[in-house]
Every structure is written in structure tokens, then in C-alpha cells.
Structure 1
Amino acid sequence: MIIIRHKVFIIVFFIILTYLLGNNCGKVVFAENKESVSNEAVYNMPINNVNRIDRTIVIGDDKDYPPYSFIDEKGNPTGFDIELAKAAAENMGFKVKIKLGVWSEIKNELENGQIDVIAGMFYSKDREKKYSFTTKSTISSADVFTRNGKSVKDMSDLRGKTVVVEKDEISEEYLKKQNIGINFIEVKSSEDALKLISKNQYDYSIVPTVIGNYFIKRDNFSNLKSNGLVINPDDYCFAVKKGNDDLLFALNGGLQILKATGKYDEMYDKWLGVYEEKNFYETVIKNIWLISALAVSVFLLLLWNITLKKRVDVRTKELLEVNESLSKNKQELLASNEEIEASYNELVAIEEELRNQYEMLMESEENLKKSEERNRAIVTAIPDIIFVVDENGVFKDCETKDNSILIKSKDEFIGKTLWEVLPPKIYEIAYIKIKVALENNSVESFEYEIDTPLGNKYFDLRIVKCRENEVIAISRDITIERKNQKEIEFLSYNDQLTGLYNRRFFEEELKRLDNSESLPFTVVMADVNGLKLINDSFGHAAGDELLKKVSSVMVRGCGDNGIIARVGGDEFVILLPRTNDVETEKILKNISELASKEEVASIKLSISFGFATKNHSEEDIFEILKKSEDFMYKRKLFESPSIRGKTIATIINTLHEKNKREEQHAHRVSEYCKFLGKAMDLSDDEIQELKTVGLLHDIGKIAIREDILNKHGNLTAEEWEELKRHPEIGYRILSSANDMAEIAEYVLAHHERWDGNGYPKGLKGEQIPLKSRIIAIADAFDAMISERPYKNSLSKEEAVKELIDNIGIQFDPELVKIFVEKVV
């Protein structure tokens, strides 16, 4: 009983002592934070001078200087500066508006009178020339922040180093005055400075200690540390415009009220205390009263123990004297005491065991929580759906990162069986796989297709045992993979442009059909006439359109009788099993009739065919293929030239239909060429050839955009390069016809210059073919005297002068002389 009373006394004593110390600590904090102005002075300060009744003042500060001033996640201004300045102003009867912005702009606004107060500014003698400062609201210093592997013992370690600082921060001003050769990198905020150090872009940063610790904690810069230096400890104050002494006096008063009432300490601990690094000495000094009180309490406790022990001894003797008559029961009391002690020890042991079990339970719960968080992160990171299904095929649970990917909501299938939810073909396979996985402890999988509101989808299902009677089934959407696979399979055997079979399929199919069941087996080779000509004249888009139309014609002409494959650029093969020569002729005639009704860019489709038939098993199918190819090339020798001639005629007609000015220009150039040829005493054949070249010299313009040919004003550099392609295009068109090879050469060179600065080859002087030089003069002369969209025409006299001026530069001197004297 004495022991119990002793414990109760100690507990009550410490409660009372803690209460008393708490009150004393409050007084200590108050004493530490008092300024030179007394409470009486604060409460009796004159306030009429500042005319505060219904007056609103604007308090400004940096929008990005946490924890002193910043804009929180909800867009509200907050921080130690803001809360302290607002409270000080309101204590003095002011209404307050807060404005946060870029620090340099906020200082300018104070100087211009747009705001009344800056809530936080470091004091310096230089700044005192512009601003008036209140008593300090706190003292702040800077520190060197580095990565964990680096240390800085004093400022001399930074000599010659590169240091990242916030622009306009007072620490930079201080360090520059130390003149220790630091190379400063300025950034817009302390946070940016710390990020550069954390990312290993620089090694050192100097920022205010509190702000640095704030960002390390908020942004989790775990690889950064401060180095315990105290750099430029400065007073941190409210600042007003120089001369605004009434407002300054009022704010000083409000600040002293906050310190006197303890509100300042609450704000300080809330915003700054948690980020300050205190050394052991500061901690001891701050808690000296508590330590002293504890020492006194220990001394009193020891004294009380000694006194209590003496009293116990005296009382024991009294009890022994009084209870001599009860000596017979002594053994029973001792036994009872031993039993109580044993019970007490047993209770202590039980309590310890319960405590251990409780700690284990808490540890298990924490591990379970971490495991659940980890599993949730895994589920969120993967695109799969995870089902838990028991041995009876009942859905027990489902996890997915997004419930929208479920075909049915969880309420529609959790607690139901496979056959209540899935189609028969799927649930039968799934049920068998579940049984196998449970029995063999194996991973089972299969793919299935299911109809959804978005159409048919394909899934891959993997099943693995997780408990004695449950499996985890992981379903992954493989619809895109299956579609891609089918597209790849299609492209591996089909031509991408026409959709017909490709060479690979043709070669495999030729071998497959090479048997007696396919006899008679006819192989048809087909070649599209004029493809290159159309590509050169109208572009590859027109060529692609030609190939598509040819493919369509062949498919319609063959019907279900043959297998058609595109085996080259303009080459096709038709395989006709169980088809003889007569039937093949009918099919090809049908294809040709259909082709004659189609055209691309005003040019009729033309296809050259050749075929051969295998009638006996002993014949080599590759010999049949070669015969059909030879037959096709023989027919092409006869058909292709006439087709090319017709195509060239169509091209020139198309050009003239699109642009009547070009047609008239071609005829005039042809006439000038004829006259110049006669003046040079050329033969009739050469004169006729000159007339033809004159008509065809601009045929390449068929491939030039009409907006370029008809443009009003000067061409751009890109448009001019496009127009300069027409001699080459004309050459490719004309060279496809065997009887126009020389004409093609003349057309190619008709824009070459005598001095070698022409195009496309840069030929010079007599390297240029004679007829090309003649065309160049006729073409230029007609162009000068004709109206064009981009220029007015010249008179013949002006045009002749231009020709003469360009003798030996652009034109052949002798030819110009003949042209001027005998033609013009």
C-alpha cells in the first residue's frame, strides 16, 4: 500500500510540476521575444496620426518565397510574412488587401506608391536609403546547400567556385562584397537553385536556411543537405516607403502587440520553427527553465524518498510492536504476500506478452497496408483485368485500374459463376483450365473472342493458383495485336497498293497448283503499257490510280476463274487452273474490252498479255511461265510504241486544253524555228524536225502545277525550281518513244545558256545541240513579245535589243544575227 501511495504521489506531483513549468515556459518565450518597446508603450501609442479609421492598406510580397510568402494550392496568398503583417495591421485598425507578385516588381510598386507595405524585407544600410523598416520580425541567415557527398566548412571553401543563387536575394549582395572570387549563377527562385544542385548540374547553392529546409522537405530533395554555416544573419522586417513614418509607427505597434500576446510565437512556430536547425547549445538555453525544474523535482523526489523511508522504518517498528499478538498469522500473511507477488509478476508477464503481440499486430497491419498499396500500384500500372475465381467457377473479386474497361460492371458478375456470365465456349474452357491449375499448381492460358458493345474483342487469359481453392485469372485485351497480326498476314501475301496477291503468294500458289488436277493449267503474263510515261507526266499518284484500275479490270474480267497477283511494278500474273487456250482468249478479250472503257488522265488503259498452257504433267511449269512471259514481250513490242505515241499526243493535247496560251506559244515557236531553219539553209527533214521540237519543247509543263504556270507576279524560289524541272520531265516523256529519242535530247537542252549558266546540265557554247540553241532563241523572243500573267509584252524592237544584249551570254551569237537579220 505504501508503494502504491508513493506512485500516486509521484504522478500527481509531475502533473502539477508540468502545469507550472508550462506556464513558466510561456513566460520565457514571451520574455525572449520582447523588443525594446514596452507593453505600455504599445498599447498607448498614438494612432490618430495615421488616420486608420476605415483605411485600407495594400500589403505586398514575393509570390514565390515559401514559407515566408507564397500562393497556396487554392490560389490564396499565405506564409509567415503575410499572416504576421496582416495581423499587425488589423490590430492597429487597418483593413488589409494582399498582393503577391514578382519580387522586383513588388519593390517597384512600393517605390511608386502602388502598395503601402512589403511584409518581409531584409534590412541593409543600402536599402535604408529607399525604405523605412520596422523592428525586426525575425532574423534570417543563409546557408550553403550541397548534395550529401559534398561538405563546406567555411566560406573560403567556395573561393573560385560556381554558386547558384536567387536573383536579387540579399545573400548575393553580401557575398559579392566579400570578394572571394565566386562565380554566381542567378535563377528566379530558391527552389530552382536547389533543383539544379539536386540534378547534379551544379555543386553549390546559397539560399536562406529556412527556405532551403522548406523546399528539401516539400519537394523531397533527399540527396541535398545544409552545411550548418551562418551567412549574413540579417534583420527581417516590414518595409514602407521612405518617409511614411506614421504607417511605420503603427505597424511597429501592431507587431509589439502580437509579441506581447504570444500570437507572434504561434505564427513563428507554425511557419518557421519546423524548418530551423537548432544546435545543442540553443536547445539547452531555450529549455533551461524546464531542465532546472526537472533537476529540482528530482532533488525533491530523492528528499521525499529519504523522508518516506524513515517514516516507513518508524511505522514498521510500531506495527511490529502492535502486531506481536498476531505472530501466529505471520506465516499465512507471508504466504499470501508471496502469492500476491507471484500474481503480480504473472500479470506483468501477461502485460508484456500482450504488448509484444500488439506490436506484432501493428507491424503486420503496417506490412499489410504497404502490401495493399504496392498491389494497388501494380494494378494501376498494368492494362490487365485481374479476377479471383474459386474452384467452383464463382467470381470472388476483380481488380482493374479503370472500371470502364470491364465489359460488365462488377455488380453483374461478382458472386456469380462462369456459366452465368460467359458464353458456353469460353466458360467450358475456363473451368477446365481452373481445375488443371489448382491440381497441378501450373500456369494455364488460352485466348478467346467475345462480343462487346464496341464490337468483337480478343483477350488472352492466364490462370494461376493463389490459394488452396482459388485462382487468379489475368485477362489482357489483345484486340489490337490480333488486328495487327491479321494485317501483317494480309500484307505478307497481298500487294499493299492494289490488294491483289503479291509475288510471294504467286510463287507458292504456282507450286501448289502444279498437279494433274489443275490441268489444263494456263499462266497469263500481263504488262501495263505507259505506266512510266504517266508517272513522269502526271505524277506517281496518277500511276497508282492506273495500277488500281488495271487491277479492278482484271478482277472483273476473270471473275471466279483465276488467281491474280501483282509481281512487279507494272507486271501481273493470272493463274487459270483447269482453263484451256480458247477459254483463256475469251477471258483476256473480256479484260481488254473492260480496259478500253477506262482511262486515267484522259489516257486509255492498255495491257499487253501473253499466255501459255500446261496440258501434260511432264511439262515443266517454269517453262510454261517463261513461254507466257516471252509471248507477252513480243506482243508488247508491237503494242507499246503505238500506245506511247498516242499517250504523248494525249499529253500534249491535255497541256494545250489546260492552257490555251501554251498551245499558241508552242505553234509560234514552231513557226519561228521553221523560219530560222530555212534562213540557215537546213534540209527539209531538219526543218520538219525543228517544227516538231518547237511544238513539243514545253511538253514537260504537263507535270507543273497550273497555279505556277498562271501565277501573276514573280515566282518564289521554290516555285522557280519546280518550273525548271519541265525540260527533264519533257525528256523522260519523249524518250519513252523510240522514234523521239533525238527530239527528247533537244527538249532537254532548250534552256541551256551559251555561257554555261543554264539548266539542267549547265552545258556551254557548242556543247548545246544546235536545234536546242535555235529553240532557245525562238522561245525567248516569243515570250518577250507575248502577254504573260506576270509581265507586259515588249515591242519587237525591244525584244530584238534584248536578244542582241545577250549575245554570247544566253544565246549563240551567229544564230541571233541570222534570226534578227533574216527572220524578224
Structure 2
Amino acid sequence: MNIDLATIALILVISSIFQAVFILLLSSKYPGVDHFGVSCSFYALGFLFVMLQGSNANDLITIVLGNALLLLALIFQYMGLVRFLELPENRWFPPLIFGFCLLMLVYFQLIFDSISLRIFFVYLSSGLIALLVANTLRKKRNALVLRQIPILFFIFVSAGIFAVLRAFYALFSPPITNALAPALFQVLSFTGAFIINIIVTFTFIMMINERVSSDIRSAKEQFEQIFNLSPDASLITTLPDGKIVNFNLGFLNFTGFSQEEVQNKSLLELNLYENPADRERLLKELAVNQSVDEFELNFRNKNKDIRICSVSAKLIIMNNTPHVISIINDITNRKNAESALIKSEEKYRFLTEFASDVIWLFNLTQNKFTYMSPSIFQLRGLSPEEAMTENLADSMTSESLQRVRADLQKNVKNFIANPKAPNTYLIEIQQPCQNGSLIWVEVSTKYRYHVSGDIELVGVSRNIDKRKQAEEAVLYLSYHDQLTGLYNRRFYEEELLRLDTPQNLPIALIMADVNGLKLINDAYGHQMGDKILKEFADILKNECRHDEIASRVGGDEFVIMFSHTDQKSVENIIKRLNAAISNVRINHTILSVSMGFALKEDPMDDLNDVFKQAEDAMYQHKLMISPSIKRATIDLIVNSIYERNHLEVIHSQSVSEYCQAIARELGFEAEAINQLGLAGLRHDIGEIAIDEAILTKSENLSETEWAEIKRHPEIGYHILRSVNELAEIAKFVLEHHERWDGCGYPKGLKADEISLQGRIIAIADAYCTMTTERPYCRALTEAEAINEIKKCSGLQFDENLAQLFVEKVLQQEWPQS
């Protein structure tokens, strides 16, 4: 049997739309009618999305949203029925089922695509909701709609059982391609949905009609009593001209007219309607429903005052003529109060329950909290009830409590003296949290009188802990050196002004300067230099007492200042520091610090002059030890190079010997020969800063790696230049990779722009490199190396020097062109 389920779905959409429109047009004074109408709208939308299934681009919308809407429609149908029938409503079960079903739909659509499991969870959820409706209906005992209850009960029980069976059938039957596949259960599902939808809607409409009829009968039976005894305005008018044929005393009191003024007049003639169109609306609703309950409109009394009224009216037949009996309830005061209350409650609820700040009330007279907003949990981890049991001493630290009590005493006096003044105050306090930590809070307070006459404090507490931490961090950085953690120059200068008083004399300044820091930076990089500075800073932190204030005032300069001292005490401090420095061990370098001091003993002395004296003493000490430290550091650098590459020892010695041999052939003096030999021995000292992996790499170097290699002459130059006696050979080392044709590095010098010593080292270095086995190339024979030198003469090498080297030093023939 070939059944087009899309057509059935279309019929369901159309029928659901008509049902929604019809239900929503009914009187909504009964609870649940609107919900039931909305459920029909959701059914229409849900089946519309079911019709659209099949487009891969819209699968998420058509499948997930379509099924979710159908389930939501059933939930709203449940809400409409239970509220209309005034049954107890289960408020947690339907949302729980809906949320779980929606989660499963998304999961088995986007993450693990399974139509069988989607069908299972959709039908299982629908079945559970249907059975919930049936179970709720079973408890109804209202005689007005008792006849419809068994019908609805049977329908929802049947639908629930069918849905559960369909759900489990989906797990054990072959999966269908989509929801519109003409499978037996799908046909039964769509057809059943159509039939059940029609029956349930029709039954619901019947219940509404029966309830309306019951209300009309009840109103008719009680008419006489209400009309005569009601304090509200009651009247009977003819239809359609609206002539007043009867009225009660309440009507005269309400309108302000006398009996004679009202008799045989219409409400229009009395000009009671503020908007005459309201009468037409009222009559239209009467014509539709035969009665109107709580129809709101505005009336104007004899004094032209506008009153908001609720009119309950009903059509009756008197003497075969249609009449309207109306009861007018003046609800002006109630409406104004409700409006004010709603606005006040909305503002209050928003401020207290949805604000991140904590809002609280504290009764100063009774010394207790009377209100605490829920956001106290986010602030301190306490529930409002727990926070309200605290007293002031429990709610803040002792230091904060002292300041708060002092402010309270002063502020309460000001408030009593002038209650109408703003009386708003701001204070920052620390409060304990549930987990034991402390948090900074900004508290804004205002004083007022409670209705009981007690003085009440209205407060707003705001979390400023991050702001305080940021302020503390900024304050710390403004007075501390970021690298070493010692005080910085700004703190030093301010502290110096504070100390510079006669009461603190004698004042001592110790000036300290790290020796060879630039040499270390050039050789090992600034990270090693920073490590040296931090090592010395740690020594100062450990060795200086609380009254001995150490500061970093420059790149490698430190100052220690303290008061109430003498020369012997200062010398002991320096000895203590030197002892700690001597115990520091750092690979391939030396921690050395030059120190000098001066004392201010006369109040008339200028501390700037004392600083200069300490600086001069430090520089004098530096001149004595710095050269030896630098030489020792260079020796450590060279040893470090030799340790990581043993071939470098042989290579450097060979280059040095060849350089001296060339120098002798050129007639250099002995001192110059020794200088050139030393330059050859130290020509590759700059390689200390180059990664060993690059130096020993057997493959071709990348552009970045080659650029790194080309840095070593310049690094070596800076290292050697730091020692006065090596400054001259530093230039030779800098130029030993320049080429005769100007294509060398680092400066691109050419021909005679290159020093003679630099050209000599270039030839000796190249020959030794070519004749030594390297990871990246084999060793050349002497003849091959000589041919290569010949080939590069005039390009890389000075041709005259190259020929002299081959013929005089190597004692080989210069190859013929």
C-alpha cells in the first residue's frame, strides 16, 4: 500500500492551524485555554518541519526542531488541560523529559547519526508525557466536565501505550530512511495523530462550552441577590438602545447621579463612557459569549472623574425583550496599587536577585541583618540565610571592623541630625569567605528610618578583589625591579630622602657593580647575564638584614643603604657578601662584584656626594680586579669551546702556528708575531654563542642557520675587545672571514680595506679547515687544499699572501694557471 505520508502531514498542519485559530478565539478567561491553543500552533509547526525532512542542509532544523516542537506541543496540551481542569500540575517532569529528548536528538543527529535512536527517544518521551496526562486526568472529579474525562483518559492512555511500543519497535526493526517513509508504524502514527488531535481539540471545546453554560446558569440563579445586595454598581439596560430600566444604590453612588437623572436614560446619554467605542466592544463580546466577565473599561462619573472599572455583564430576556444586566466594579485604586506594586517588585527583584553586587539591609537598632540578596553566595560562598545570622564582627576582618565602627558612630550622628541629607558613604573592607580566604569588598551604604522607627542601613557590596590585587601589583612594580625583585631606583631615591635625617646618622652607602657583565652577555647571551644579576640579587636578599636596604639602581649597579652604623660594620657586611659570592658556582663563567662604600657622619654632608664617594671607591676596586676577571672569563669561554669540540683545540693551535709562520716570512717583529699568533688561537672564540647543533651539523645549513654562523666573528670581536690587552687582536678576529673581493662578512670589506693580519688568519683558517675531517665534509690532501687556495686567490684570499703561504710556509710549488 503506497501511502503519501507528506500529504497526511500537510493535512495535520492545516488542521492544527485551524484548531489553534479556533481555540485562541475562544474566551481566554479560563486558565489553560491559551496554552491549549499554543499547543495546536506547535503541532502545526512541528508537522511542517516533518514535511520538509530530506534536505541534508536543513537536517538539524527539520529533524531536531520538528520533533522538539511536536513534543513541546504535547507538553503545552498537558499544561492547558490540567490548568483548565484545575488539576495539580507536575512542573518538573515535562521540562526534564523535553530537555533530555532534545539532547538525544542533537546527539544522534550531529554526533552519532541514528534515525532508530531518534525515533526511540521521541516516541518514548511522547509516550511518557501522554501517560502523565492520563494519570492526571484520572484524579479529576469535577461534575461539570465529568463526561469528557473518560474520553480524554482513554485517548491519552492509548496514545501513550502506542508511543512506547513504537519507541521499542524502532530499536528492533530495520531503520527507516526518514520520517516520511511509508512504514506501517509511521502510517499508524500519522493517522492516529490526526484523529487524536481532532478528538482532543473537539472534547476540549466541549468542556469550555459546558463551563461557560454553567457559569451563566449560576449567574442567573444568583442574580437577585447580587443585584440587590452588591455594593458594586448594578444595572439592567435594554438591548440595543441601552436604556436603563433598573439600577441599585451602588450605581447611584458610583456615578454621582440622582435617581431622577438616571431613570430611562442610557449610559451614552449620561456620558459615562470615556471612550464610547468600549460599549461596542462590550456588546460584541456579549453577542458572542452571551456574558462578559471582568471586562475592563474606563467610566466617567458626574464630576468628570475617570474611573477604571471591571464590568461583568450577561444577556437576559425580560418580557420577550433582550436586556443586559451589568455589574460595575470600580477597580481604580486596585489597578493603581497593582501597577505601582508591579513596578516596585520588578525593580526590587532585578536589583536584588539578578545583580552581581550583594544588596543587604542591616538594622542598626537591633544590630542584625534583615535581608541578604542571593549573590552573597558568589561573593563569599555563603547562603543568604547563613550570612544573615552573622554579626558585624563575623562578617569582616578585625581591621575592617575598627574602621567600620568608627564610620558608623560618625555617620549615625550625621543621619540623626539631618535625615533628609543624602547620607551615602563608601568604604573598602576585607571579608572572610566560606573557604577561609579573604576578599576585598567595596561597600556603598545609605541610612534610613524603617517603618518601625529603627535606623536601617541599606548596603551594596561589590567584589573589588581583582582591582586590589592589580593595585598591589602596580604598587609592587613601581618600587621593585622586575628582573631581580629588589627595590628599584625610584624606591632607593625616596628611601634615601626618608633616611637623610640627623637621627639616622651615620648613614652608609655600599655601591656594587657586577664585573664583566657585558662580556658575559656577548659570550652567552643576555639570559646568562640576567642569571648572573639574579644570583647576586639572591645573595643580597639572603645576606642583607631587614634594616640593610638593597636596590638595583642601574643595569649592573646595586646600592645597599642603612643607618646607625660605622665603618667596621660596613666592612663586615662587604666581607659577608664577598664570602657568599665566592661560594657561587655558575658553569663557564664567574660571578665577580666590585664594591665600594662611603659614610655620611656629618649632618651637613650631602648624600649625593657620599654616593659619589662610594661610586669612586667601587670603580677603584673595579680597576684592580676587572681585567683579571675578564681574562679568567675568556679562558673559561675558550675551555668551554674546547670541551664541546676537541678538534677545535688542534684547529686553533694549527691556525696560530701558521699565522706566526706567515708573519715571520713577512718580517714581523716578535711582538707582532706573538699578537698574530694569539689572534689565530682565539679567532673562533665567538662560536661560544652559536648552537653546537649548528656547528656540528652534517647537512646543508638553512639560511637562518647560516646567518647564525656568520655572527661569530662579531661576537668574538666584542668578547676580546672587553679586555684592554686583547683589544688590538679583536679587530683581526673580526675580519678573518672578510674576502678579497668584498663578498665576505660581517662588514663586506675588500682588498686592502682588510687588515693584513685579518687576511693572514683567513688563509691559515681556511687551510686548516680544508685539511681536517669535519662532520659536513672530508679532509682534503695537501695538494687538493693548495689547488683550492690557488683557485680562490684574488677572490677570497690575497693572492700574494696565498702564494707566500704555499711557497714559504708549506714549501710547495705554487700551482701554474
Report the TM-score range of the alignment, normalised by the length of the smaller protein.
0.5 to 0.7
- Give secondary structure in 1 for the equivalent of 2:427: strand
Code of the aligned partner of 1:563: I
The corresponding residue for 1:703 is 689
CA distance in 1, matches of 2:555, 2:413: 55
Could you tell me whether the CA contact under 8 Å between 1:403 and 1:409 is conserved in 2? yes
1:463 to 445, 449, 466: 445
The corresponding residue for 2:605 is 619
1:691 equivalent in alignment to 2:677: yes
CA distance in 1, matches of 2:562, 2:392: 51
- Give secondary structure in 1 for the equivalent of 2:796: coil
CA distance in 1, matches of 2:250, 2:788: 128
The corresponding residue for 2:362 is 389
1:799 to 764, 785, 788: 785
The percentage of counterpart residues that share the same residue type is 35
> C-alpha deviations, 1:631-674, integer Å up to 9, x for none?
32223222222221222122111221222122222122212222
| CA shift for structure 1 position 430 | 4.7
| CA shift for structure 1 position 743 | 0.9
The corresponding residue for 1:71 is 64
1:672 to 629, 638, 658: 658
| CA shift for structure 1 position 718 | 1.9
CA distance in 2, matches of 1:687, 1:717: 37
The corresponding residue for 1:62 is 55
Q: CA RMSD in A?
A: 4.4
Pair 1:696–1:262, CA change in 2 (3 A): same
> C-alpha deviations, 1:445-466, integer Å up to 9, x for none?
3222234325232222221247
Could you tell me whether the CA contact under 8 Å between 2:396 and 2:429 is conserved in 1? no
Pair 1:353–1:67, CA change in 2 (3 A): farther
| CA shift for structure 1 position 544 | 1.6
Code of the aligned partner of 1:703: A
- 1:634-645 paired onto structure 2 within 5 Å: 634-645=620-631
Could you tell me whether the CA contact under 8 Å between 2:480 and 2:491 is conserved in 1? yes
Code of the aligned partner of 1:567: V
1:445 equivalent in alignment to 2:413: no
CA distance in 2, matches of 1:627, 1:99: 80
- Give secondary structure in 1 for the equivalent of 2:701: coil
Pair 1:418–1:592, CA change in 2 (3 A): closer
The corresponding residue for 1:408 is 382
| CA shift for structure 1 position 785 | 2.2
> C-alpha deviations, 1:539-562, integer Å up to 9, x for none?
212212212222333455554663
Query: How many residue pairs were aligned?
Result: 537
The corresponding residue for 2:139 is none
Code of the aligned partner of 2:426: S
CA distance in 1, matches of 2:564, 2:505: 5
| CA shift for structure 1 position 763 | 1.2
| CA shift for structure 1 position 695 | 1.0
| CA shift for structure 1 position 521 | 3.2
- Give secondary structure in 2 for the equivalent of 1:449: strand
The corresponding residue for 1:520 is 506
The corresponding residue for 1:571 is 557
Pair 1:100–1:633, CA change in 2 (3 A): closer
CA distance in 2, matches of 1:405, 1:444: 21
Higher relative contact order (CA 8 A, sep 6+): 1
| CA shift for structure 1 position 761 | 1.1
CA distance in 1, matches of 2:806, 2:249: 139
Moved more, 339-348 or 459-468: 339-348
Code of the aligned partner of 2:721: S
- Give secondary structure in 2 for the equivalent of 1:71: helix
> C-alpha deviations, 1:356-403, integer Å up to 9, x for none?
455546644654565356436860xx4x22222234332222224573
The corresponding residue for 2:703 is 717
CA distance in 2, matches of 1:76, 1:802: 87
1:375 equivalent in alignment to 2:351: yes
- 1:538-553 paired onto structure 2 within 5 Å: 538-553=524-539
Pair 1:566–1:69, CA change in 2 (3 A): closer
1:354 equivalent in alignment to 2:340: no
1:343 to 243, 249, 271: 249
Pair 1:771–1:73, CA change in 2 (3 A): farther
Could you tell me whether the CA contact under 8 Å between 1:444 and 1:462 is conserved in 2? yes
The corresponding residue for 2:315 is none
Could you tell me whether the CA contact under 8 Å between 1:62 and 1:70 is conserved in 2? no
Code of the aligned partner of 1:457: I
CA distance in 1, matches of 2:183, 2:583: 100
Code of the aligned partner of 1:385: V
The corresponding residue for 2:476 is 490
Could you tell me whether the CA contact under 8 Å between 1:522 and 1:613 is conserved in 2? yes
Code of the aligned partner of 1:394: K
CA distance in 1, matches of 2:66, 2:471: 48
Pair 1:403–1:743, CA change in 2 (3 A): same
Code of the aligned partner of 2:601: N
The corresponding residue for 2:102 is none
| CA shift for structure 1 position 812 | 1.8
CA distance in 2, matches of 1:546, 1:558: 18
Could you tell me whether the CA contact under 8 Å between 1:447 and 1:459 is conserved in 2? yes
- Give secondary structure in 2 for the equivalent of 1:756: coil
Code of the aligned partner of 2:347: S
| CA shift for structure 1 position 532 | 0.9
2:570 to 561, 571, 584: 584
Could you tell me whether the CA contact under 8 Å between 2:359 and 2:460 is conserved in 1? yes
- Give secondary structure in 2 for the equivalent of 1:459: strand
- Give secondary structure in 2 for the equivalent of 1:603: coil
Could you tell me whether the CA contact under 8 Å between 2:361 and 2:370 is conserved in 1? yes
CA distance in 1, matches of 2:437, 2:494: 35
CA distance in 1, matches of 2:803, 2:670: 22
1:399 to 357, 373, 394: 373
Pair 1:580–1:361, CA change in 2 (3 A): closer
| CA shift for structure 1 position 427 | 5.5
Pair 1:465–1:671, CA change in 2 (3 A): same
- Give secondary structure in 2 for the equivalent of 1:708: helix
| CA shift for structure 1 position 723 | 1.9
Pair 1:615–1:795, CA change in 2 (3 A): same
| CA shift for structure 1 position 699 | 0.6
Pair 1:562–1:649, CA change in 2 (3 A): same
CA distance in 1, matches of 2:621, 2:706: 42
1:596 equivalent in alignment to 2:582: yes
| CA shift for structure 1 position 344 | 6.9
Pair 1:401–1:796, CA change in 2 (3 A): farther
- 1:257-276 paired onto structure 2 within 5 Å: none
- Give secondary structure in 2 for the equivalent of 1:753: coil
1:783 equivalent in alignment to 2:779: no
| Structure 1: unaligned runs, 5 residues or longer | 1-21, 30-56, 81-97, 103-246, 267-336
2:759 to 750, 767, 773: 773
Could you tell me whether the CA contact under 8 Å between 1:538 and 1:601 is conserved in 2? no
> C-alpha deviations, 1:769-796, integer Å up to 9, x for none?
1111121222222222222223333333
Code of the aligned partner of 1:712: S
Code of the aligned partner of 1:729: I
The corresponding residue for 2:113 is none
Pair 1:393–1:795, CA change in 2 (3 A): farther
